[in-house]
């Protein structure tokens, strides 16, 4: 389910204060391929075990936030630092 544009317009990263944008299908595939390797961690160092169905990425491309059932999970500890993902 796509995220509502009005909500997207007001969301920002709680860490960097950067605006966020939906991951493209290509970027989402890269993220999920990296998650499948078992080597991707959340910001709190816990492993990311579940592939994303949707996600948001900051404008500066430093953090990814998952979207669960149309609801963005904008928690710093649960963000995925992008520097772990090759090609993103």
pLDDT digits (tens, 9 = 90+) for 22-81: 999 999 999 999 999 999 999 999 999 999 999 999 999 999 999 998 899 999 999 999
Q: Which residue has the tokens 């961690």?
A: 41
Contact 50, 67 (CB under 8 A): no
DSSP string over 66-84: EEETTEE---GGG-EEGGG
Distances in whole angstroms, Cα of residue 40 to Cα of each of 17, 25, 50, 81, 84: 23, 19, 11, 9, 6
Single pTM value for the model: 0.93
């Amino acid at each position: 389910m796509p995220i509502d544009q009005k909500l997207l317009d007001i969301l920002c990263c709680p860490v960097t204060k950067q605006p966020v944008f939906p991951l493209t299908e290509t970027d989402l595939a890269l993220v999920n391929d990296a998650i499948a390797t078992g080597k991707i961690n959340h910001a709190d160092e816990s492993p990311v075990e579940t592939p994303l169905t949707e996600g948001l990425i900051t404008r500066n491309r430093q953090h990814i936030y998952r979207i669960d059932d149309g609801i963005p999970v904008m928690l710093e500890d649960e963000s995925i630092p992008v520097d772990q993902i090759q090609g993103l």
